Amino acid sequence: MVALAMVALMGPVQDARPPARRAAGLAVVNGWYTHGGRVVWGYAQHNGWWRAGQRPNLARNAPGEVGPNRTEDLPKLVEAMLRYGYPGFEHNFGLWFDRRRDAHDTARRTDDRAVPPFLEQPWARTGPGAAWDGLPKYDLERFNDWYYQRLRAFADLCDRHGAVLFHHTYMQHALLETNAHYVDFPWRPANCLQPTGLPDSTPAANALYDVSHPVRRALHRAAIRKGLDELGGHTNVVFLCSQEYTGPLAFMQFWMDTVAEWERERGRRAHLGLSATKDVTDAILRDPVRGPRVGTVDLRYWCYQHDGTLFAPEGGREVPGRYAGTPLVEATTPEQLYRQVAEYRKLYPNKALLHGLPGSLEQAWALLMGGASMLVGQLPYPELADPKEYIAPERCVAILPTYRFLRERLGTSLPRMRPDAIAGAGRGSAWALSDGVSTVLACALAGGDLTLDLSGLRGRLRALWFEPATGRTLAAGEVTGGARRAFTTPSAGLWALLVERSGGPSRPPRPRSRP
């Protein structure tokens, strides 16, 4: 059975053609993601960690089965992402290789009868000896070619078509909470050839992040550099340290310094994302050397709660990521989400911002109006069932009208715009994005009266109502700029108002250099 499992590891790989135009790839313009000069905004799929299905995983290997939630058909997956409003994909390796562990037990397997689909890990298995799952042990100095071929193929498609791959080197979720997540972790001493010095049970996060151990330090450098070697030539890849990272500042510094070393040797620049607790994030961003290297900032691991108080666990305390802020996104108010994002947009206007998947359209629009570039979270298929073809994930249905409106109406003008305090509402909250010259996008969360200060816009302006819940648009007539103007939404509820100079913006936005 070991031989059969090893054959499964070498299943079919769907390589994509290299992108035709690297120069037209991902850039950050005024804090927004763009590709080929057009905005890239929407949801990002947080990949599947276990089970056969629920969500796609780029490294899921189902021998003989190609399609949704099996061995993904990568071109069709990217096509669906761009069609259904989730142009981003967040990748990390899975919790375990073998589906027998789906029961969340901790028992050592006495045989090698692995059950597919498999979640391939980054490291190669060579033996001698058996790991906790009954298969050959991992050699942490060697890597799984199938795993990286899949990531390269997907990154090629992202480069060519305008999707974004968020690539995490590590998977912290396996290191905390429960031993069921950890027993098959490749770096656990029972599972690998190298003496990693990690504990036999959880918590193991701080031990993994302690690079004073010479063996671990060398293995970390090899893993970080391998991801860069495989994906560093792609424009549409954002590199991040670890999924759910709540570790210490010192390891984040080590990770960034290892990337910088690779960049100097290779003569390349990688797009770095910073995903960590607030204290670690702020320390890196204030760092005069490391801070400018960050192109994307992830705001998911802290938030302002509904009463305005800050919830921000400290790094290095081994707090599981699921308790560090993400569940509070849906529980807090649109106003507090806007506050958080707008604060960082103002501090770092040329960095892209990520946040968690919202629980309502009002929250999604608050994040958009605050300046969030992409919203990341779990996007399962309807009823958690595996479809035969690539269809819209259930939570994408609500955002699709907004996604299409931005692509069609503001594809080249949104990258000019920033949060602007020029909107006010009679009830509820109202916010605006503006380029200060020709275009304003405002929203009123509760509908009713909406006032815009159009002092910075001159001449005749056309106005258009947009209803995010339905995708309906209604002409709002023409107005003259240079003064405050009052509008009334067509009905109660969330409405957006687009005001732009007749003929639209006069020139496309200029992309800034990659970080």
Tens-digit pLDDT profile for residues 437-446? 999 999 999 9
Banded model confidence at residue 15, pLDDT cuts 50, 70, 90: very low
- Residue 139, judged by CB atoms within 10 A of its CB (0-12, 13-18, 19+), counts as middle
Banded model confidence at residue 326, pLDDT cuts 50, 70, 90: low
- Residue 210, judged by CB atoms within 10 A of its CB (0-12, 13-18, 19+), counts as middle
pTM of the prediction?
0.93
SS3 432: strand
Q: What is the pLDDT of residue 425?
A: 82
Phi-psi region of 339 (alpha: psi -120 to 50; beta: other; left: phi over 0): alpha
- With residues binned 3-state (H G I as helix, E B as strand, rest as coil), the percentages for the chain, rounded to 5, are 30, 25, 40
- Residue 212, judged by CB atoms within 10 A of its CB (0-12, 13-18, 19+), counts as exposed
SS3 285: helix
Among the listed residues 245, 435, 419, the one whose alpha carbon sits nearest the alpha carbon of residue 340:
419
| CATH topology classification for 419-501 | Immunoglobulin-like (2.60.40)
CA distances from 34 to 17, 26, 405 (A): 22, 6, 16
Phi and psi at residue 123, to the nearest 5°: -100, 150
Banded model confidence at residue 54, pLDDT cuts 50, 70, 90: confident
Cα–Cα distance between 193 and 140 in angstroms, integer? 7
Which residue do the tokens 């031989």 mark?
Answer: 3
Task: Answer for the pair 350, 512: CB distance below 8 angstroms, yes or no.
Answer: yes
Task: Answer for the pair 277, 253: CB distance below 8 angstroms, yes or no.
Answer: no
Task: State the span(s) of the chain assigned CATH 3.20.20.80.
Answer: 2-409
Number of neighbours of residue 256 by Cβ within 10 angstroms: 22
Domain spanning 2-409: CATH 3.20.20.80: yes
Does residue 10 carry a pLDDT above 60? Answer: no
Banded model confidence at residue 11, pLDDT cuts 50, 70, 90: very low
Cα–Cα distance between 364 and 109 in angstroms, integer? 45
Does residue 337 carry a pLDDT above 60? Answer: yes
To the nearest whole number, what is the mean pLDDT of the chain? Answer: 92
What is the total residue count of the chain? 515
Task: State the span(s) of the chain assigned CATH 2.60.40.
Answer: 419-501
Cα–Cα distance between 228 and 234 in angstroms, integer? 10
Provide the sign of the torsion angle of the four alpha carbons 66, 9, 6, 101, taken in this order.
Answer: negative
How does DSSP assign 437-464, residue by residue?
SSEEEEEETTEEEEEEE-TT--SEEEEE
At 146, list the tokens: 């199938």
Cα–Cα distance between 120 and 144 in angstroms, integer? 8
Q: What is the pLDDT of residue 314?
A: 96
Q: What does the angle CA 66 – CA 71 – CA 73 come to, to the nearest 5 degrees?
A: 60
Task: Answer for the pair 82, 407: CB distance below 8 angstroms, yes or no.
Answer: no
Consecutive H or E run containing 60: strand 60-61
The percent of residues above 90 in pLDDT, for the chain, comes to 85
Does residue 9 carry a pLDDT above 60? Answer: no
pLDDT in tens, 411-444: 999 999 999 999 988 778 999 999 999 999 999 9
SS3 305: coil
Cα–Cα distance between 59 and 147 in angstroms, integer? 6
Q: What is the pLDDT of residue 503?
A: 62
Q: What is the pLDDT of residue 127?
A: 73
CA distances from 164 to 67, 233, 297 (A): 20, 14, 15
Cα–Cα distance between 463 and 439 in angstroms, integer? 10
Does residue 290 carry a pLDDT above 50? Answer: yes
